[in-house]
Structure 1
């Protein structure tokens, strides 16, 4: 499977299409190969295997500054829109799918309501979109997993017990949200202290980060709270402290390890989507449901999902116009103002979380087969397939044809920002050197070379001048640069991704000096 993922991703890049689309289609085609063994994952393990590391890595990658900036729209899409979408699907299923109770409808709605960040990110990389839009989509996908899985859990209880007590549900909901976030923060703080106390080498540091999300998720679930929120909260906290408890070598190696690890996990999940479909088809046939009928239900559910998201996006725009008109773009961007909700509504590709939730439905309930399990699985798979293929292939075209971001995304502005940051760093370090060492190290060859390095910003071919004393000065200056960039990141106009790239370059520079 990993070999297939690598080869198909190379092909997807050459064809300039998002790799999740190609993996799903390829998995479906591979599944028809005669004699191919069935791939099955234990429903009780599917969440635990895939979700914690994927959420943890996403929490480390996202810009918390951008999340705070756009918290209103992120919060509304992650919670209100997910609930509205699940409600819409529940009402539709209850009225139009025979045998579906409102509880089963909410179960299906909770499964298919959260859009997938990996799919959106893989698709939008072929077009330039503003950082604000990217931050909204990433922040929404980080939180909507929790809200959708909370709906999924309550719906599962309602289907199992045949009743839904609002008071108990409200109490459980509060504990799941507050308890999950609290457990994640406590464990995140604890892991930071462990890293600092152990003073581990890079390989051990990275190995420890690989198991931390599993501890967070499992601890919260054992306490009947939200494991998803625990991982997200703990991941965001540890990400904000990465400069404190991880050294430069750990950060560099951790980035590479996690990038490969998450790529493999995502690839396996998308390939599983295609591989599992023929078995699900056999399941619905055994229940007496025609494939054509099930496909019709799936298409209609997909249409409900898309319409609910677009309606929600325009409702958010209207609410903003009424309650916060100051943040609405000026009249010259009226076309952009009214097309943006359409774009946000069209970014609702489903993926990893929906698959994991569908596969996590228990096979039996109270000693009997779970009602309509295979049909729910089939609808989920078709929804994922349709949203990935239809929305995924048309989204880049929609962005390019509408010219929605023309004049917003400016590569020259980004390059100018990078230039200003580098220029500011050089001046900051040079002034630091002049202030702290000028009087005490005059005549020192190593110091004079360092001064020349920062005045001319050139690397000497001969590194023999780098004495231990000079290295210590360099380490101090690199740490000072990190402090400068951290302070600069407080400016809301500065893109945090640029700051992180500069910090990564500093880590590389520190490792280079260590090897001299």
Structure 2
């Protein structure tokens, strides 16, 4: 029982530290993940602070699936698909290229460091972190292309990095490595991971469609879904990362079909809290690992050399990313006339923003910590394990502090303009409102304009359609008393039809990369709020009618007196 109390107290203390550091970072206007890492480092230096070791399986199974799923859920499929070439070049091409460069560089620089160990280190430090990229860019004014590419890259490249890591680890353990076998296994792992993710997503989709609407059940199912996808794919030795990302993108693109308004609102609130807690724990845990990693190296002389190796490899991965991004952005335009005509020139500012946003994170640290203590013979210690762990920590720290701290300044200084979206945010806002009003008027005129309804009622419908995206409550004061109850019900049902029509219009507009996805999501939320209000009013009126009917059945005279 004492052990349970101790663990609980430790978790609560970390939660309090996360809350406190987030408040300070908001006050100082610093990037929250960077400040949490610094805070974790400072906390680890206090005397009598217990050393908290990260369990790699805890990261892979508990943290990774929901964070990947959340990223996929909030990514526009149309934007993602349009940038698939750039994302693939970064998520797969850059990961493999970085792994190769790091492998040969570390093999040449570090004494007695085999090439297989170099590939192992390269697989660990090559993928950027999904959490870091999204968290650092949150609230910053960056072009949609940059945000989409970075989010897509950081979600997908985990799979490539982990596959390189696993093959290199097998080579170190067994002393054998076959390129053809590794390439075949990569495509099988990735392909079947995608298939498993899609299959589970389709099953979940139909479960939602046939199950009765219940916001609590729907929200719980969204929380369980990423774990099902990840565990199922890993069970069949496929890429759990690709399964979660693919399944998340599929469900997100169809969420308007199977999630009612109350489920969407509740799930969004719950996921915002989950995202905050997981991100906070991830980054503060990175900082808290410093004493443990320093201890494993032992001697101060070894620590000094390891620090130099870590800084050199950190600079290398930053330079390799810059060297890869610029050609991958501009070369396809030079080599293909179709690409040049189809896509607008992003410019060097956008290319530099993408190249400078390559922060590493907890996935790299978890991969390094998962290295076994012994080789396959269970007798020989795993070579250079502590050195790899320390270098990985230095690379994470270097990219988070150097790039993470300077990125807001770089964004402000460059002031890169939108390329995919031509209209300003204000113009898009007006265009969305006009489009929603237009489809509403056409629908109402066609369905209700020819009916002999009260003129003020029809006018109210049109007025309501024009301002449906606001939270203004229009009262039907001009309706006659005897017809008000019936007309109010017709009015509410008509407005629910209008909301459904407008939501479908927003979905179609979201597929057009000319619109800011945040604006589309804002108007979807406003529609959900409007639908919630109307359903509450319908529920109240229904309860009143049912109560009067029950009273009439039991005591008709009392009902007559009340009337």
TM range (shorter): over 0.9
- Alignment match of 2:396 (pick from 354, 368, 384): 384
- Residue 395 of structure 1 pairs with residue 407 of structure 2: yes
Q: Name the SS of the counterpart of 2:88 in structure 1.
A: helix
**Cα 1:373/1:407, change in 2 over 3 Å:** closer
**Cα 1:111/1:475, change in 2 over 3 Å:** same
How far has the Cα of 1:65 moved from its partner?
0.8
Q: For 1:104-503, list aligned pairs within 5 A.
A: 104-125=117-138, 127-285=140-298, 290-324=302-336, 337-366=347-376, 367-368=378-379, 369-401=381-413, 403-405=414-416, 413-443=424-454, 447-454=458-465, 459-461=473-475, 467-503=488-524
1:55-75 alpha-carbon deviations (Å, 9 max, x no partner): 011110111111111111111
1:401-442 alpha-carbon deviations (Å, 9 max, x no partner): 3x3515869998111101111111112101210111122352
CA distance in 1 between partners of 2:208 and 2:179 (Å):
43
Native 8 Å contact 2:350 2:416 kept in 1:
no
Q: For 1:18-37, list aligned pairs within 5 A.
A: 18-37=31-50
CA distance in 2 between partners of 1:186 and 1:409 (Å):
32
CA distance in 2 between partners of 1:443 and 1:468 (Å):
14
Q: Name the SS of the counterpart of 2:166 in structure 1.
A: helix
- Alignment match of 2:110 (pick from 88, 97, 106): 97
Native 8 Å contact 2:421 2:513 kept in 1:
no
Native 8 Å contact 1:70 1:136 kept in 2:
yes
Q: Counterpart of 2:76?
A: 63
Structure 1 residue runs of 5 or longer lacking an equivalent are none
CA distance in 1 between partners of 2:235 and 2:466 (Å):
58
How far has the Cα of 1:317 moved from its partner?
3.8
- Alignment match of 1:49 (pick from 59, 62, 69): 62
- Alignment match of 1:85 (pick from 90, 94, 98): 98
- Alignment match of 1:14 (pick from 27, 41, 44): 27
- Alignment match of 2:527 (pick from 493, 496, 506): 506
Native 8 Å contact 1:18 1:119 kept in 2:
no
**Cα 1:297/1:161, change in 2 over 3 Å:** same
CA distance in 2 between partners of 1:259 and 1:73 (Å):
29
How far has the Cα of 1:318 moved from its partner?
4.6
**Cα 1:424/1:44, change in 2 over 3 Å:** closer
Structure 2 residue runs of 5 or longer lacking an equivalent are 1-13, 478-483, 538-563
- Which one has a bigger Cα radius of gyration? 2
TM-score, length of structure 2 as denominator length: 0.85
Q: CA RMSD in A?
A: 2.5
Q: Name the SS of the counterpart of 1:199 in structure 2.
A: coil
Structure 1's consecutive aligned runs of 4 or more residues displaced over 4 angstroms after TM superposition are 325-329, 406-412, 444-448, 455-458, 461-466
CA distance in 1 between partners of 2:402 and 2:122 (Å):
20
CA distance in 1 between partners of 2:168 and 2:440 (Å):
58
How far has the Cα of 1:26 moved from its partner?
0.8
Native 8 Å contact 1:55 1:231 kept in 2:
yes
- Work out the number of aligned pairs and report it: 511
Range that drifts further, 390-399 or 491-500: 491-500
Q: Name the SS of the counterpart of 2:188 in structure 1.
A: helix
How far has the Cα of 1:122 moved from its partner?
3.1
1:355-408 alpha-carbon deviations (Å, 9 max, x no partner): 22222223333214322222211111111111111111222222333x351586
Native 8 Å contact 1:43 1:361 kept in 2:
no
Native 8 Å contact 2:86 2:329 kept in 1:
no
1:1-21 alpha-carbon deviations (Å, 9 max, x no partner): 121111111211211111111
